[in-house]
Structure 1
C-alpha cells in the first residue's frame, strides 16, 4: 500500500538501514572576501523570472558587490540612472545579456523600474550539508531567495528536474493575512518543486515555513543560518540549526508520492533515478533579489499593482506607498558565507 503510513514507514526503514556516516568534510565555501566572477555568473535579462517580476537583472557593482566580507545583492531604481521620463518612453538593454528577452521598451507598460542581481555558482554538487549565513532585506515588495537548480536537467525542463528553495521571504514589515498572521519579513519558507509539468508542480507537499513573529524580531534584523541536509534518502531544511521540515524518500519515489500515475498519468519520468529523483542529481546555488510579481498574492497587504495591463506602471506610480520602506543597504540581501560539507 501507499499513503502517509507507508511513506513514514519507508523513511524510518531507510533511516534504520542507513550506514554510519564518516566525519564531515568542508568541500566548498565562499566567505565573500571578494566577488569571484569565476565562481559566480550573473544572469542578465529583462525576463521577469517566471513570476512577472519588476526588475531587470544585470551585472553591475551597484547591484552586486562585496564589502568587509559580506556579499550585497541590492535592488536600485532605473530612474536614478536614466530619469523618470525614460521609464515611459525609453528602451533598456545590456550588451552582455545572456537570456531572452534582452530588451525592454516602454509601451502599454513602462520599462522595468528596478535593477537587481541574480547570480549562479559554477560549483555544483549532489548530497551534502549546506550552511548559508544571511541577513534578509527590509523593504516592501522585495523578494529575496537562496535556492538551487539542477546542473544538467536530466529529467527535462522545469519542474521535471526539480528545484530546491533553501530560503524565500518577503521584505514587508507590515504584511498580514486575513487571520492577522504575518506573511512578511518575520517569516521564511523552504520548498522543493517537482512534477511532470508546471500545472502538476506538487511543491505544496514539500513546503515548510518558519515564523519568528512571536519574538518581536524579523529576519531583516540580524544574520541567521539557513541550512539544508541532503542525502540519498531525505532532505531536511533548518533555520539556526533547528529543523523546519523534512521529506523522506517516498516509497517508489516522488512519482507515486505526487499521485502522478493517476493525474496526469503516463510514464514515470523519474523511473531511471533513485527514490529521491529528481533530487538525485547535481544542483548549483542561485542567489537573487527580485521585486514584485506573482509571489505576492492578490488581495493581501494592499498590493500597489494589479495585473490589468500595466502592473509595473501601477507599482512605480504608487511608489510613495512603498519607497519610504526602502532604506539604502537595508534593502539588500547580505550573505556572510556559504559552506558545503560532505
Structure 2
C-alpha cells in the first residue's frame, strides 16, 4: 500500500521464523503508541531501550508485573506539568484559629499604651515648666575691648580661700582683649621676687580687691623658705555692671590646657545676706582642670557644675549638688563651647552647648536646709543655726542677686588636685606647698607654652534677667 513500509524483526517464537510487522504511517496515534509514547500526548519521551539486553518491545508484558502494561511506563517516567491556581488543596486556610488575632492585637495594644505613657510624661513635663520672660542685661562680644563699666579685674595674693598659687593682677599681662576675644593667661612670677626677701602689699596702693589683710599681703622669706605666689594670672567679674536675681547666663569660651591649671566660670552673691561663704551660696556654672585626659580626676576633657551651700565651710553640701560631663571625642580646651545656666525660683540647671546637654539640675522642691540634713552642732560643740528657713522660700540662699566671675586659677591646697595622684608635686597641708610647686616648674610650665594652650579664650558673654515680675513663679 502506498505510504506503508515494512520492517523485518526476528522474534523469539518457537518456529524461529521471521515475522513481518507492518509499520504504521508516521504521525498517527497508532504510530506514536507503537513508537513508545505511552501517554499518547506527543510530550513525554519514549522509553529508552535496554542497551545490553532484550529490547523492551520484544519482552512480554507479563515480565513487567501485573501493574505494568504499555502505559505502565509512568512508574518509571514522570509527566511534568504546571500546577494551576486552585488545583492544590490548602486545608489550613479553610478554618482559622481564633487565637491568631491576638498575635496582632497584643503588640498594637503595647504600642498604644507606650505612646500614651510617653505623651503623658511629655505633657506633665511641659505643664510643670514655667516659661519665663527674660530681659537682656549683658551681651558682650569684646569687639570694642574690655568694657570697664561692666568688668572689674581683681587683685589678690591670698589664694581665694583655696590656697591657690596665683597672684591675680590688674595688668594687661594676664587679662587683655586680642582679636575680639577676652584672654585670661597665667604667667610665671618674677624670679627675683621668689629668691630674695620680698613683701607684696596691695593695700599700699589701694588695689587689693579684698578687705581681708591676708588676701592682700604675701611674703618671701629666704630664712623660713616661704615664698610669694609663684604664678600670676587673672580673675574678672561683672559685679559692677551685670548682676541678676534669677535669669540665664551663657559664656562661649575655650578652656586652657596645661598641668595644674584650674579654669572656672561661676557666680557669687552680691551681698552675704545669709552669712559668709558658703552660707550665702555659690553657683559654679563650670570648672575644669588643665591636665590632659589621662589625669585620674578628670582633665580638660571633663567639666563639672556645682552649687555650694551650707551654714559654714565645714558643712558645705556641694557634694549633694555636683555633676560632671565628659566631652565627646574631644576636650574643652581644643575648641570653643558654650557653657550655660538657667536659674529660677524652682530650679537651677547648667548645660554645655545646648540646654538639652544638661550637666547639673537642682530642683528646689524642698527647703535646702532640710535637704542638707546638717548636724545640730560643729565638732567643737558650737550650735549650728539655720540661716535660711526664716525666708519661707525653698530656694534660699539662691534667692539673692549674683554676679559672674571668669578666672584661671593655678594649683591650690583644697584637694581640687588630690594628694599623691598623677605626679602632683606638692602636698596640700605642707608648709612649703607653694615652693614645692615652683621647684618643679620645668615639668609643668612647658605644658602651658604651646600656642594658646595655657589661656582661657572667651568670645562672648550673655546675661538675661528674669523679668516676668512674679517671684513666686
TM-score higher than 0.5? yes
* Counterpart for residue 236 of structure 2: 119
Partner of residue 142, structure 2? 32
Question: In the alignment, which residue of structure 2 is the partner of 1:222?
Answer: 335
Distance of aligned partners of 1:35 and 1:205 in 2 relative to their CA distance in 1, 3 Å threshold:
same
**1:194 equivalent in alignment to 2:309:** yes
- When normalised by structure 2's length, the TM-score is 0.64
Which residue is equivalent to 1:257?
Answer: 371
Spell out the pairing of 1:44-123 with structure 2 (5 A cutoff): 44-79=155-190, 84-89=191-196, 90-94=198-202, 95=205, 96-99=207-210, 100-101=213-214, 102-107=216-221, 108-121=225-238, 122=240, 123=242
Corresponding residue SS for 1:330: coil
Q: Secondary structure at the match of 2:256?
A: coil
CA pair 91-263 structure 1, distance change in 2 beyond 3 A: closer
The answer to whether the 8 Å contact 2:183/2:457 transfers is yes
Given that residues 164 and 193 in structure 1 are in contact (C-alpha distance below 8 angstroms), is that contact kept between their aligned partners in structure 2?
yes
Contact in 2 for aligned 1:46/1:104 (Cα 8 Å): yes
RMSD: 2.1
**Structure 1: distance between partners of 2:194 and 2:385:** 48
SS in 2 for 1:287: strand
Are the equivalent residues in 1 in contact too, given 2:285–2:350 (CA < 8 A)? yes
What secondary structure is seen at the aligned counterpart in 1 of 2:452?
helix
Shift of 1:128: 1.1
SS of residue matched to 1:276: coil
- Cα 1:111–1:280, aligned 2, differ >3 Å: closer, same or farther? same
Identify the residue that residue 446 of structure 2 maps to in structure 1: 324
Higher gyration radius (CA): 2
| Contact kept in structure 1, 2:293 and 2:301, CA below 8 Å | no
Q: Which structure has more strand as a fraction of its residues?
A: 1
Q: Deviations over 1:217-276 (max 9, x none)?
A: 11100000101111110011101111112010032x100000126566754311233111
Gaps spanning 5+ residues in structure 2: where?
1-122, 467-473
Which of 1 and 2 has higher RCO (CA within 8 Å, sep 6+)? 1
How big is the shift at 1:133?
0.4
Q: Deviations over 1:160-183 (max 9, x none)?
A: 000000010000115432xxxx61
Q: Establish whether residue 299 from structure 1 lines up as the match of residue 420 from structure 2.
A: yes
Q: 1:317 to 1:266 in 2, by over 3 A?
A: closer
| Number of aligned positions between the proteins | 319
